[in-house]
Amino acid sequence: MSKSFHYCPNCSSQNIEFNFRKLSCKDCEMVYYQNVATATAVILRRKDEILFTVRNKEPQKGKLDLPGGFTDPNETAEQTCQRELKEELNLELNVSEFKYLMSQPNDYEYKTIPYKTCDLIFESNFPENAELKLELEEIVEVKWIKLSEIKLEEIGFESLRNAVSFYLENHN
């Protein structure tokens, strides 16, 4: 079951309303927004294949994922792509190499707290001869899968399923 807030973080009153988007306190008039978070994902292309990662943690542990992650404060989405590829795969790309594809809303439940994200999906070519080093805490392995052999149902997040489906319809 999802956790929720029971007290106002400012005055500790229990006279609050929280709908997982906005917390408002009727006693001290504090209003706190849990805004939609920006996250990125990258479709890395090598010939007729896409790189998928296999998640090593919840949510969607064991399912296919795309490299990427949450945008940090004061960061552009392209910088998020660059930083996450470096962190997750030890892959170095220039920010100019990420081409925007589309966005998709997503639900991301972490330790029983549901978050709403807006996933920005980019595409990029895999640099030839690059050697990957995986961040094993996050990723079990990577799988290169031919476009014709991708099974959308093996992709954990609906947002990324939709993005890969769109990519397959529009790129060959």
Residues that bind Zn ion (CB under 5 A): 8, 10-11, 13, 25, 27-28, 30
DSSP three-state, residue 1: coil
Provide, rounded to whole angstroms, the least separation between the CB of residue 140 and Zn ion: 44
Nearer to Zn ion, 10 or 38 (CB): 10
Nearest approach in angstroms of CB 31 to Zn ion is 10
Nearer to Zn ion (CB atom), residue 13 or residue 90: 13
Residue 55: which of 108, 102, 99 has the closest Cα?
108
Give the nearest distance from C-beta 10 to Zn ion in angstroms: 4
Min dist CB 7 to Zn ion, Å, is 8
Q: Tell me whether residue 13 or residue 94 sits nearer to Zn ion (CB atom).
A: 13
Regarding beta strands 31-33 and 16-18, do their DSSP bridges make them parallel or antiparallel, or are they unpaired? unpaired
Q: What is the DSSP string of 101-169?
A: EEEEEEEEEETTEEEEEEEEEEEEEPPTT------TTTEEEEEEEEGGG--GGGBS-HHHHHHHHHHHH
CB closer to Zn ion, 30 vs 134: 30
